[in-house]
Amino acid sequence: MYAFLRPWLFRQDPETAHDRVLEGLAWLARRGPLLRLVQRLFSLQDERLEVEAFGLRFPNPVGLAAGLDKNALALRAWPALGFGFVEIGSVTALAQPGNPKPRLFRLPQEEALVNRMGFNNDGAEALAQRLAAWQQAYGKLPVPLGINLGKSKAAPLEEAAQDYLRSLALLLPYGDYFVVNVSSPNTPGLRRLQEKELLAELLGTLSGFLQGRKPLLLKISPDLTWPQIDEVLELAERFGLSGLIATNTTTQREGLKTPYPEEGGLSGRPLAQRSLEVLRYLNKQLGGRMPIVSVGGIFTPKDVWERLEQGATLVQVYTALVYRGPSLPKQLCRGLLHLSEGAPIGGLLNRPAIPEADPKQHGY
């Protein structure tokens, strides 16, 4: 069906198409009988796909990345489509409209997107109210829910820690895990929060507030150098983070076959190589001490399998969903069972770090 629907969607402005699809899924999320039918068609339930990470059980390792459903409008639709976990946001303490339009662009020949959305969202207080209403009406989501936290554009860097803390405090009852997003390229100055002193203050504030009550993860940029990643890892371990998400979108354009002039974060196929390089490096440096969620350029079961082999515990998709459609999670899970030859996925994850060539050869 999606093969017939996609040309119609792709004739529309990308953000308009995104909003219309999200509206349809939001409508579906509140229709119990229809939602159960969708779940039977699109979801693959198999205990061999189950994974445990940072104290949570995931029915399968394929998750929805942050950015697609920033405001939790279609919350119940994502598990019905077969996702093993859902990450909403990025959410900021203050509601904000994001950057001027147009701000989302397709590169169909590359199977890629470029976005400069700028954390457009309803704000942490509105999201907390919506999540409370979801829980009151339907109960807890059947899969883990992650909440991705960003910095309000109006908050200066020296007040960033308190800005993130405000969002975390409001949303603490509703998320199963939380993600510190300091790696989006679309908020001015945000990536400076990956610098050692600023990041130490931010992680210290948030981890001190949480006191281990909920898992706290950090999402990193693919554009960091290896020494910068080493600094991030040192802080992640110092403050007892539960995991890392690698990677966000990239400002680089080396993976493109043809030049593309629009500014913003690049995602999709062209990001795959760099995302995989970062995963391998993290796995080598951590040696299994911390779970890694791999995201960036994942389209096929072989892509997922490669990420799991190279040290990921979970994976996330976004751009592939735009190009492949709603059957993607089921296709990935079915392919995983085939590639694992029926062995439980969780039992394949505890493997030693895979040797990696000298990272300096990659030029980062």
Contacts of residue 314, defined as CB under 8 A and 6 or more positions apart, other chains included, come to 51, 53, 58, 61, 62, 63, 84, 85, 291, 293, 294
Please state, in angstroms and rounded to a whole number, the distance separating the CA atoms of residues 31 and 14: 26
- Dihedral angle sign, alpha carbons of residues 40, 46, 51, 52: positive
Nearest alpha carbon to residue 228 among 214, 243, 209, 247: 247
Contacts of residue 342, defined as CB under 8 A and 6 or more positions apart, other chains included, come to 48
CB 19 within 8 A of CB 26: no
184 is annotated as an active-site residue: yes
SS3 call for 206? helix
Q: Out of 90, 167, 183, 184, pick the active-site residue.
A: 184
Strand order through the sheet with 265-268: 104-107, 112-115, 265-268
Which residues participate in catalysis according to the annotation? 184
